Amino acid sequence: MATQSGNTPSVAFIGLGRMGLPMAKNLVAAGFEVIGYDRSEAACASFADAGGKTAGSAREAAAGAGVVITMLPTSAIVASCLVGEEDALAEAAPGALVIDMSSSVPADTLKLAEKLSARGMSLVDAPVSGGVSKAIDGTLAIMVGGEDIERARPVLEAMGDRIFPAGKLGAGHVVKVLNNYVSAAGALAAAEALIVGRDFGLDEAVITDILNASTGRNNTTENKVKRFMLSGAFNSGFDLSLMAKDIGIAAGLAEGLGLKMQLLAQTAEAWQAAENDLQQGADHTEIYRHVDAGAHRG
């Protein structure tokens, strides 16, 4: 994890959720002056306990900040927070750098950049991968789009150990949703394979071990099946609704490019159906329960 010395810009961190809170804490540990904001008082209190400063609003957090980071559920919320109703950037430092680390719609990212440019500010998109555990230990993979990557790098290196310049503005958000599509498709395949094998009379744990020693292994079989699915814990820390949202963005991107991607469309449909069937706030590993119920329905 990078450690700062000398004069560094103050950082506003808006969105202290499951991922954002440990990321902001790592910025503090790296020596940045960070002012955090979240609508959750408990999240703000936890950040303050880690040595961070907190604000009563997004605008207050960003006042005078040279770097403003957003880690929010959707690009619509990002835009509303920064340049919309809340107008968090109204009092940010001249020429401030905005780093959107949310999983956002690429087209919305480009629209936001235009609004920031009119204010003399710049934007990079820098979504992350690795989950809560890697957010905590500062080893996230961060995919970055835009022209100010080097300006953002010192801040990003405090939160991740693999920084990938992905290309032009919006590229980070594109790669992020494509990554989650591949992950989600693998999770569906793993769930279906386990259920077919189980109903044939096999031990799902044994199936998992064989997959992980063979070419069928993927992130779900290696890191999620036994820990979160077969255990019944379903508490990986990433909501199913967010996964469904990201795959929907990927499907929309393909459609906007005039591409017919059958598996992508089917995967998006399957995850949307799971979101509709399961309770609000369901963990994404509960896709296993959804597939199991659907396989035996009717």
Rg (CA), the chain: 20
Q: For residues 92 and 64, what is the distance between their CA atoms, to the nearest angstrom?
A: 5
Catalytic residue among 176, 226, 245, 260: 176
Q: For residues 77 and 55, what is the distance between their CA atoms, to the nearest angstrom?
A: 18
Q: Which two tokens stand for residue 275?
A: 């979101």
Contact call for residues 283 and 238 (beta carbons, < 8 A): yes
Q: What share of the chain is helix, strand, coil (3-state, %, to 5)?
A: 55, 15, 35
What is the Cβ-side half-sphere exposure of residue 265, based on CA atoms within 13 angstroms?
Answer: 7
Q: How far apart are the first and last CA of the chain?
A: 53
Measured in whole angstroms, how far is the alpha carbon of residue 185 from the centre of its chain? Answer: 17
Q: Which two tokens stand for residue 248?
A: 């929907």
176 is catalytic: yes
* DSSP assignment of 120-171: T-EEEE--EESHHHHHHHT-EEEEEESS-HHHHHHHHTTTEEEEEEEESTTH
Q: Which two tokens stand for residue 231?
A: 């255990």
Residue 134, C-beta contacts closer than 8 angstroms, at least 6 positions apart: 140, 141, 160
- Helices 171-200 and 240-256 sit at what angle, rounded to 10 degrees? 120
Helix, strand, or coil (residue 187): helix
For the annotated catalytic residues, the residue numbers are 176
